[in-house]
Chains A and B, each alone.
Chain A
Amino acid sequence: MGEFKVHRVRFFDYMPSGIRALAFNQDTERMAVARMDGSVEVFHCSDRFFQEKIIPGREQCGIEGLSWVGERLFSAGLNGGITEYDLTNQKVKYTIDAYGGPIWTITGNQQGTHLAVGCEDGTVKLFEVNEDQIQFERNLDRQKSRIISLSWHPSGSKIAAGMMDMIQVFNVETGHSIHRMLADRGAGTSRSKECVVWSVVYLSDGTIITGDSVGMVKLWDDQTGTLIKSHNVTKCDVLALSVSQNEDSLVAGTSEGIVVQFQFVSMVLEKDDKEWVRTRTFRNHTHDIRAVAEITTAVVSGGMDAQLVVRPLLDKIEVRSAASALRKIHFPHRRLVSCARKSGLMLFQYPGHLELWRLGESEGKGTPGSSLFVKRNPEKLLQLKVKGEDHIRCSAVSPCGGWIVYSTASTLRLYRLHCDNNNISITKISKLPKVLSSANQLCFSSDSSHLFSASAQSSVHIASLSQSGCKFVGTLKPKSGSHQAIHLLAASEDGKWLASANSDHEVHIYNLQTQKAHCTVPVYSSAVTAMGIHPATNCLFMMHADQQMFEYSIEQKQYTDWSRTVQRKGLHRFWVERDTPCLNVMFNPQNPSHVILHDMYMLCIIDQSLPLPDDKTQFYNQLTLKSLTEEQRKSQSHAFKVCKTFKDILCVELMPDQSLVVVERPLEDIATQLPAPIKQKKFAT
Chain B
Amino acid sequence: MVETSDIRVVRCGGSKVNLTPPIISSDSRFVLCTSGDLVKVYSTRTEEWLHSLQGHTNQVTGITLNPANHLQVYSCSVDGTVKLWDFIDGILIKVHSGLCVSACPECFQLVSVHLPKSAEQEVEAKEMSAVSSHISKNPSCTAFGRGGEYIAFARHLQLNVYFFRKQKTYSFSLKATDKKGAKNAFTCIACHPTDDCIATGHEDGKIRLWRNFIHKKEYTYSTQHWHHNAVNTLCFTPEGTHLLSGGIESVLVQWQYGAGNRKEFLPRLGGSILHISASSDGQLFCTSHSDNKITVIESSFKVCGVIQGLVKDAVLTDLMIDPRSKALVLNGKPGHLQFYSLLRDKHLYNLDIVQQEYIYEAGLDQFEVVKAAFDIKGSWLATVEERGKKSSDLEFFLKLWAFDERTQSFVLNTTITAAHTDRIISMCFSSSEETTMLVTAAEDSQFKAWCQGADADTQQDQNFWSCDFVGSYHKLNPTNCSFSADSSLLAVSFQEVITIWSPDTWEMLTTLCQPPGVIRDLCFGRLSCSKYLLGTTTKNLLCCWNLLTCELEWSTSVDVSKLQPDPFSENVAAFSYQSKHTDLFVFKPSEPRPLFTNKNVCSEKVHRAVFVPREEPLNSCDESTQWLNRSQLYFLTQNMDLLTFSTATEEDRMLSSSKQLVIDDSVAVTPFYLLLGKHRQQQQKLNTQSHPHNMALPLLLRVPGGGLLHTPAHVLPAASVLCSMFVNSFLISNTGVQQDPLRYFVHIWLT
Contact present for A265 and B223 (CB under 8 Å)? no
Q: Which partner residue on chain A sits nearest B261 by CB separation?
A: A232
Which B residues lie within 8 Å of A267 (CB)?
Answer: 194-197
* With contact pairs A231-B260, A232-B261, A268-B146 given, residues A277 and B196 touching in the complex (Cβ less than 8 Å): no
Residues of chain B within 8 A (CB-CB) of A281 are 222-223
Contact call B220/A269, Cβ cutoff below 8 A: no
B119 proximity list for chain A (CB < 8 A):
none
Point out the residue from A232, A263, A268 that lies within 8 Å of B260, measured CB to CB.
Answer: A232
Judge whether B217 is part of the interface by a CB distance below 8 angstroms: yes
Residue B1 is within 8 A (CB to CB) of chain A in the complex: no
Minimum Cβ distance to chain A for residue B407 (Å): 41
Cα(A263)–Cα(B220), bound, Å: 8
> A684 CA to B258 CA in the complex, in Å?
27
Q: In the complex, A631→B589 CA distance in Å?
A: 88
Contact with B along A645-683 (1 / 0, CB 8 A): 000000000000000000000000000000000000001
Contact yes or no, A279 B221, CB < 8 A? yes
Q: Which residues of B from 538 to 582 have beta carbons under 8 Å from A?
A: none
Query: In the complex, what's the smallest C-beta–C-beta distance from B202 to chain A, in angstroms?
Result: 15
Q: A277 to B219, Cβ gap below 8 A? A: no
Assess whether B261 is in contact with A280, with CB atoms less than 8 Å apart: no
A315→B259 contact, CB < 8 A: no
Task: Tell which of B194, B196, B197, B221 touches A280, judged by Cβ atoms closer than 8 Å.
Answer: B221
CA gap between A683 and B206 in the complex, in Å: 14
A315 touches B196 (CB 8 A): no
The docked-state distance in angstroms from the alpha carbon of A231 to that of B223 is 15
Give the one of B214, B222, B223 with max A CB within 10 A.
B222
Q: In the complex, how many residue pairs between chain A and chain B have their CB atoms under 8 Å apart? A: 53
List the A side residues contacting B259 at CB < 8 Å: 231-232
Report if A269-B196 is in contact (Cβ < 8 Å); known contacts: A277-B211, A277-B258, A278-B260.
yes
Chain A interface bracket (under 10, 10 to 19, 20 to 34, 35 or more): 20 to 34
Q: Is B127 an interface residue (CB 8 A)?
A: no
B259-283 Cβ-contact flags toward A at 8 Å (1 or 0): 1111000000000000000000000
Residues of A within 8 A of B214 (CB): 269-270
A595 is an interface residue with CB less than 8 A from chain B: no
The residues of B that contact A265 with a CB separation of less than 8 Å are 211-212, 220
Judged by a CB distance under 8 angstroms, whether A233 is at the interface is yes
Nearest CB on A from B393, distance (A) = 25
**A269 CA to B145 CA in the complex, in Å?**
11
Give min CB distance, A441 to chain B, whole Å: 39
Q: Which residues of B contact A314 (CB under 8 A)?
A: 217
Contact with A along B206-243 (1 / 0, CB 8 A): 00000111110111111100001000000000000000
A270 to B228, CA, bound (A): 36
Contact (A277, B218) CB under 8 Å given A232-B260, A267-B195 = no
* A683 touching B228 in the complex, CB below 8 Å, given contacts A263-B220, A280-B221: yes
In the assembly, what is the distance between CA of A265 and CA of B211, in Å? 8
| Minimal Cβ-Cβ distance residue in A for B149 | A269
List, in ascending order, chain A residues with CB within 8 A of B219's CB: 315
Decide yes or no: A279 and B196 within 8 Å by CB, A232-B259, A270-B214 being known contacts. Answer: no
A208-252 vs B, Cβ < 8 Å mask (1 yes, 0 no): 000000000000000000000001110000000000000000000
Residues of A within 8 A of B196 (CB): 266-269
Contact B197 A315 (CB under 8 A): no
State which of B194, B213, B222, B223 has its C-beta within 8 Å of the C-beta of A277. B222
- Measured in the bound complex, the distance between the Cα atoms of B222 and A277 in whole Å is 9
Q: Which of these, B220, B222, B223, contacts A315 with CB under 8 Å?
A: B220
A277 to B208, CA, bound (A): 13
Interface size class of B (residues with CB under 8 A): 20 to 34
Q: Is the interface of A mostly helix, strand, loop or mixed?
A: strand
Chain A residue nearest to B163 (CB atoms) is: A269
Contacts of A683 in B (CB 8 A): 228
B30 → A minimal CB distance (Å)? 33
With a CB–CB cut-off of 8 A, which chain B residues contact A231?
Answer: 259-260
- Tell whether, in the assembled complex, residue A315 and residue B195 are in contact, meaning their CB atoms are under 8 Å apart: no
List the B side residues contacting A684 at CB < 8 Å.
Answer: 228
Residues of chain A contacted by B220 (CB below 8 angstroms): 263, 265, 279-280, 315
Query: Which B residues touch A315, using CB under 8 A?
Result: 215, 217-220
Q: Produce 1/0 per residue, A249-287, CB < 8 A to B.
A: 000000000000001011111100001011111000000
Give min CB distance, A592 to chain B, whole Å.
Answer: 42
Residue interface bits A68-89, CB-to-B below 8 A is 1, else 0: 0000000000000000000000
Interfacial chain A residues near B223, Cβ < 8 Å? 280-281
CB distance from A395 to the nearest CB of B (A): 39
Name the distance in Å between A506's Cβ and chain B's nearest Cβ. Answer: 38
Docked CA distance A270–B150 (Å): 14
- A269–B192 Cα gap in the complex (Å)? 12
Residues B228 and A278 in contact, CB atoms below 8 Å apart = no
Most chain A CB inside 10 Å of its own CB: which residue of B221, B228, B260: B260
Shortest B264–chain A CB gap in Å is 14
B277 to chain A, nearest CB (A): 24
Shortest Cβ gap from B734 to chain A (Å) = 60
Q: In the complex, what distance in Å separates the CA atom of A397 from the CA atom of B306? A: 82
| Distance A279 CA – B213 CA, assembled complex (angstroms) | 13
A263–B196 CA distance with the chains assembled, in angstroms: 14
B236: min CB distance to chain A, Å: 13
Chain A residues near B194 (CB-CB < 8 A): 267-268
Residue in B closest to A271 when the chains form the complex, CB atoms: B196
Complex formed: what's the CA distance from A279 to B218 in Å? Answer: 12
Residues of chain A within 8 A (CB-CB) of B212 are: 263, 265-266, 269
User: Given that A267-B196, A268-B146 are known contacts, is A233 also in contact with B222, CB under 8 Å in the complex?
Assistant: no
Q: How far is the CA of A93 from the CA of B218 in the complex (A)?
A: 43
Closest chain B residue to A283, Cβ basis: B180
Contacts of B217 in A (CB 8 A): 314-315
Type the 1/0 row for B652-679, where 1 means its CB is closer than 8 Å to any CB of A: 0000000000000000000000000000
Distance between B182 CB and nearest chain A CB, rounded to angstroms: 12
Within residues 343 to 365 of chain B, which ones have a CB less than 8 A from any CB in chain A?
Answer: none
Give the distance to chain B from A251, nearest Cβ to Cβ, in Å. Answer: 13
Taken together as a complex, chains A and B put the C-alpha atoms of A684 and B225 apart, in Å, by 14
Tell whether A268 pairs with B262 under 8 Å between CB atoms, given A263-B220, A315-B217.
no
* Beta-carbon contacts under 8 Å, A427-472 to B: none
Q: Are B218 and A268 in contact (CB under 8 A)?
A: no
Cβ–Cβ < 8 Å partners of A280 in chain B: 220-223
What residues on B are CB-neighbors of A232 within 8 Å?
A: 259-262
Shortest C-beta distance, A24 to chain B (Å), equals: 21
For B262, the chain A residues whose CB sits under 8 A away are 232
Q: Are A233 and B260 in contact, with the CB atoms below 8 A?
A: yes
Complex: how many Å from CA A266 to CA B146? Answer: 14
Question: Please, which residue of chain A has its CB at the minimum distance from the CB of B222?
Answer: A279
Q: Specify the chain B residue showing the minimal Cβ separation from A269.
A: B196
- A314 CA to B173 CA, complexed, in Å: 14
Which residues of A299-356 are within 8 A (CB) of B? 314-315
Output the residue of A232, A263, A279, A683 with the most chain B CB within 10 A: A279
Residue of A nearest to B228 (CB): A683
Assembled-state Cα–Cα distance A280/B261 (Å)? 13
Distance from B333 Cβ to chain A, minimum over Cβ atoms (Å):
26
Distance (whole angstroms) from the CB of B261 to the closest CB of chain A: 6
Across-interface contacts of B218 in A (CB, < 8 A): 315
User: What's the Cα separation between A233 and B222 when bound, in Å?
Assistant: 13
Most chain B Cβ neighbours within 10 Å, of A269, A270, A281: A269
- Please report the C-alpha to C-alpha distance between residue A281 and residue B182 in the assembled complex, in whole angstroms: 15
- B185 → A minimal CB distance (Å): 20
Would you give the shortest CB distance from A259 to chain B, in whole angstroms? 13
Question: Could you tell me the distance between the alpha carbons of A268 and B192 in the complex, rounded to whole angstroms?
Answer: 10
Give me 10 other A-B pairs in contact (C-beta within 8 A), A231-B259, A269-B212 excluded. A232-B259, A233-B260, A263-B220, A265-B212, A265-B220, A277-B222, A280-B220, A280-B221, A281-B222, A683-B228
Can you name 7 A-B residue pairings with CB atoms under 8 Å? A265-B211, A267-B197, A269-B213, A277-B222, A277-B258, A278-B222, A280-B221
**Which 5 residue pairs spanning A and B have beta carbons closest together?**
A267-B195, A279-B222, A269-B196, A279-B220, A315-B218
Which residues of A pack against B, CB within 8 Å? Answer: 231-233, 263, 265-270, 275, 277-281, 314-315, 683-684
